[in-house]
Chains A and B, each alone.
Chain A
Amino acid sequence: MDELTGQSVETVGYLSMFNGDILALIGTSFNLSLWSTSIAALIAFPLGVFIGLSEFKGRRTVDIILNTLLFLPTVVVGHLVYMALTREGFLGDFQLLFTRPAIIIGQVILATPIILTMVSNTVRLADRRIIPTALSMGASRIRAYLLLLGEVRALVVLSLLAACGRVISEVGVSMMLGGNIFGKTRTITTGIALLTSQGEFAQATVLGLVLLVIVFGINIVVYQATHRVSA
């Protein structure tokens, strides 16, 4: 009990010194997740619409592979990308190891299958008559596909949230590819890992809470945006 009280007192103390250090970690985490999720969406939206709409041989195989990729452990992705980015790796010349772009590459690999699976399955079940209708009204093909995605927006947004949730909560990729460099590649999660290893439990708790509160806020905004439109 003493321990708990002591810790909460300490926690309040840390909250009040909500300083630049903590802000830097939060900024890094969100910056990285947004970049990764956006890039993953740019890859996964067109591919997802394609896979969802087309009937081709071996689609079952594609589905199974995609579903398998959902289970990719972050440390496996971290390791594989590390092998590519190290100076002796085939992307070594770019000197990306231990930088933010390195983390983004790893996180895109984690996020893309999530969006891809959800979008392709959603599109498959959607009412696709909207496409010929839109085309007959003179819309471009891209516009028609966007309209189709718009029809199932709630699930599309959900896929983005799921992807963002995966990358903002992962430790493996950020730690292995980013190197946990303070002010640059130290994220909320790698920060928590470090603080816990140093016995700074109160500060680690605060960071975890901060992450949850911010994500909660984002979800409220997204929920409102999605549901106001569909109402």
Chain B
Amino acid sequence: MMIPTVFQRVIFFTLVIMVLCSATGGCSKSIDSDSKTPVDTAGGRVTIKLATTTSLDNSGLLAHILPDFTEETGIEVDIIAVGTGKALELGRAGDVDVLLVHAPDAEREFISEGYGLDRYYVAQNEFVIVGPFADPAGVGESSGIVDAFGKIHDTEAVFISRGDQSGTHKRELIIWDEAGLDPEGAWYIEVGQGMGAVLTMASELEAYALSDIGTFFSMEDHLDLVIVHSCDELLENIYSVIPLNAELFPNLKHEQVAVLIEWLTGPVCGDLINRYEVNGHRLFDVR
């Protein structure tokens, strides 16, 4: 009988590839840890989901510190890097186990609504205004951040805004508010993307942008941008970890989250963060 051997071949080929794929280290591990039950299987690792800001992930900090944590505790951390606004939304829905974010006002609101329990200080650095080397708006000569934003506004120099309710975006809006200005016009571009994408765009368009200093330094080599203004109270950038409310979300991995928070706020991690350097710059401070 005429058997369509092509199917056997294709199916065989498919199976071989599947086996090969599963055999590569990363893949087989994740298939195990993707299992639906949050319970620790004998000898297996528990995985918790951490929603965080693009700035912590893009700067490479989490990839630098978390392997130590996993080694020490056997708890794996899946990093979902989104803006702080989105991270808080994921927290409100209970779709992740823990948050690591940087928008103090929004965090307080989140906690007062009952979704989160408390904020724990992890690290800090600062926001900076970056722009083209020529600095057409003269931001470099401004007396403070409010004045700097005023100069950008008045000269209608191109400014790229995250526009994604992230911590950086929220801070930008606070500064516009402090300056009593309404950013509107063709010069003000809201892109709704992560920090890295915004810096790349700013570099391409010779525009200004508000950035956390960590992401900027970690990408400096790829950018035709310089820091044109920094150091201001309004530019302080604090990262906090927030556990979710166990009463609201009983199915989350609160036990492992507690271990993570203790580690993140402890001296070992603080030391790792303080020693983390990219291109010769220290990106974060733990005080």
Contacts and interface: CB of A to CB of B under 8 A. Distances in A.
Interface of A: 20, 23-24, 27-28, 30-31, 34-35, 37-38, 86-88, 94-101, 137, 139, 146-147, 149-150, 153, 157, 160, 179-185, 194, 196-201, 221-222, 225-226, 229-230
A150 B2 CA distance: 9
B107 to A, nearest CB: 21
Contacts of B24: 23-24, 27
B193 interface: yes
Interface string B74-97: 000011110000000000011110
Task: Sort chain B's interface into a size bin.
Answer: 35 or more
Interface centre among A24, A27, A101, A153, by most B CB within 10 Å?
A27
B6 A199 contact: no
B68 interface: no
Given A28-B27, A184-B34, A225 B22 contact: no
B26 A87 contact: no
A158 to B, nearest CB: 11
Interface string B50-80: 0000000010000100000000000000111
Nearest to A164: B14
9 nearest CB pairs, A to B: A150-B4, A199-B222, A197-B197, A31-B21, A24-B26, A198-B196, A179-B80, A184-B30, A27-B24
B22 to A, nearest CB: 7
A83 to B, nearest CB: 11
Contacts of B222: 198-201
Contacts of A179: 49, 78, 80
A88 B249 CA distance: 11
B200 interface: yes
Interface of B: 1-7, 9-10, 13-14, 17-18, 21-22, 24-27, 29-31, 33-34, 36, 38, 49, 58, 63, 78-81, 93-96, 193-194, 196-197, 199-200, 203, 219, 222-223, 249, 251
A181 B79 contact: yes
A34 B79 contact: no
A6 B16 CA distance: 39
Contacts of B58: 198
B31 A182 contact: no
Nearest to A24: B26
A141 to B, nearest CB: 15
27 contacts: A27-B21, A27-B24, A27-B26, A31-B27, A34-B14, A34-B17, A87-B94, A94-B36, A95-B251, A98-B49, A100-B34, A146-B7, A149-B7, A150-B3, A150-B4, A157-B10, A179-B80, A183-B26, A184-B26, A184-B34, A196-B197, A198-B200, A221-B13, A222-B10, A225-B13, A226-B6, A230-B6
Given A34-B14, A199-B203, 15 more contacts: A31-B22, A35-B18, A87-B251, A95-B38, A98-B78, A99-B34, A153-B4, A153-B7, A160-B10, A181-B78, A182-B63, A183-B26, A184-B33, A184-B78, A221-B13
A110 to B, nearest CB: 18
Contacts of B13: 221-222, 225
A168 B26 CA distance: 18
B80 A98 contact: yes
B34 A31 contact: no
A139 to B, nearest CB: 8
